[in-house]
Structure 1
Amino acid sequence: MAAFIHNIATIVPEHFYKQEFLRNRMKEYIGNGKTSQRIIHRIYSKSGINKRHTVINDFDKNGSARFFFEKDGSLNTPSTGTRNKYYTQKAKELFVATARKTIQQSSSISKEDITHVITVSCTGFFAPEPGFEIIKKLDLSASTQRFHLGFMGCFAAFPAMKMAKSFAESNSNANILVVCLELCSIHLQNSTSPDNLISASVFGDGAAGMLINHTKPKQNGYELNQFSTSIADGSEQDMAWSIGDTGFDMVLSSYVPDIIESNLPQALAPLLANYQLKPEQIKHWAIHPGGRAILDKVEQSYSLDESQLASSRATLAEYGNMSSATILFVLDDLLKRPETEKDETVLAMAFGPGLTMESSLLTKITQR
Structure 2
Amino acid sequence: MSESLYFDSTYPAAEAASEPSNLPAANFSPMPRSVQPRIGGLAVARPGRVLSQDDAIALFGLEGDAFAESLFARSGVRSRRLALTPEMLKTTLQQRTEHTEGQLLAMASEAVDQLGIDPSRIGTVISSTLWSLGGPSLAHRLVERYGLRPDTDKYHIVGVGCVSSVPLLRLAVQALAADPLRQVLVVAAECSSGLLTAARADERTKIVGSALFADGCAAVLLSAGPGAGGPAVLATRVHQVPGSLDKVHIKVAGDESSMFMTRELPSIVDAQLGGVTDSFLAQQGLRPAAIRHWLVHPGGPGILEAAQRSLGLTREQLSASWDVLAQHGNMGTATSLYVLDRTQQQHAPRPGDLGLMITVGPGITIGHMLLRW
TM-score, scaled to structure 2: 0.85
Pair 1:314–1:208, CA change in 2 (3 A):
same
Pair 1:216–1:270, CA change in 2 (3 A):
farther
Contact 2:176/2:183 (<8 A) preserved: yes
Aligned ranges for residues 238-317 of structure 1 at < 5 Å? 238-317=247-326
| CA deviation map 1:339-365 (0-9, x unaligned) | 4653111111111111111111111x2
Distance 1:25 1:338 in 2: 35
Contact 2:278/2:288 (<8 A) preserved: no
Aligned residue for 2:17?
none
| CA deviation map 1:146-196 (0-9, x unaligned) | 111112211122221011111222322120001111001232233332321
| CA deviation map 1:79-125 (0-9, x unaligned) | 221122321222222223322222x1xxxx52221111111111323
Q: What is the number of residues matched between the two proteins?
A: 337
1:39 matches 2:49: no
Contact 1:155/1:352 (<8 A) preserved: yes
Q: Which of structure 1's runs of 4+ aligned residues deviate more than 4 A?
A: 216-219
Distance 2:43 2:226 in 1: 18
Aligned ranges for residues 315-354 of structure 1 at < 5 Å? 315-339=324-348, 341-354=350-363
* More divergent stretch after superposition (183-192 vs 148-157): 183-192
- Structure 2: state its 5+ residue gaps: 1-34
Return the structure number with greater relative CO, CA threshold 8 A, min gap 6. Answer: 2
Aligned ranges for residues 219-230 of structure 1 at < 5 Å? 219=229, 221-230=230-239
Distance 1:195 1:95 in 2: 29
Match for residue 14 of structure 1 among 45, 48, 56: 48
Task: Give how far 1:42 is off.
Answer: 1.7
| CA deviation map 1:281-340 (0-9, x unaligned) | 211110010001111111223332343211111111110000010111111111123446
Distance 2:281 2:204 in 1: 36
Aligned residue for 2:214?
204
Task: Give how far 1:233 is off.
Answer: 2.9
Aligned residue for 1:148?
156
Aligned residue for 1:162?
170
Aligned residue for 1:51?
79
Aligned residue for 1:114?
122
3-state SS of the aligned residue for 1:236?
coil
3-state SS of the aligned residue for 1:115?
strand
3-state SS of the aligned residue for 2:88?
coil
Identical aligned pairs, as a percentage? 22
Q: What letter corresponds to residue 172 of structure 2 in structure 1?
A: A
Pair 1:238–1:38, CA change in 2 (3 A):
farther
* More divergent stretch after superposition (302-311 vs 45-54): 302-311
1:91 matches 2:104: yes
Contact 1:47/1:202 (<8 A) preserved: yes
| CA deviation map 1:21-73 (0-9, x unaligned) | 323554xx247xx8xx22212211111111010122x35xxxxxx222xxxxx
1:67 matches 2:88: yes
Q: What letter corresponds to residue 81 of structure 2 in structure 1?
A: H
Aligned residue for 1:62?
none
| CA deviation map 1:212-231 (0-9, x unaligned) | 02136554x21111112112
Distance 2:226 2:306 in 1: 34
- Structure 1: state its 5+ residue gaps: 60-65, 69-75
Task: Give how far 1:203 is off.
Answer: 0.3
Distance 1:88 1:207 in 2: 13
Aligned residue for 1:63?
none
Distance 2:190 2:342 in 1: 19
3-state SS of the aligned residue for 1:285?
strand
Pair 1:118–1:341, CA change in 2 (3 A):
closer
For the aligned residue pairs, the C-alpha RMSD in angstroms reads 2.0
Aligned residue for 1:73?
none
Distance 1:266 1:127 in 2: 41
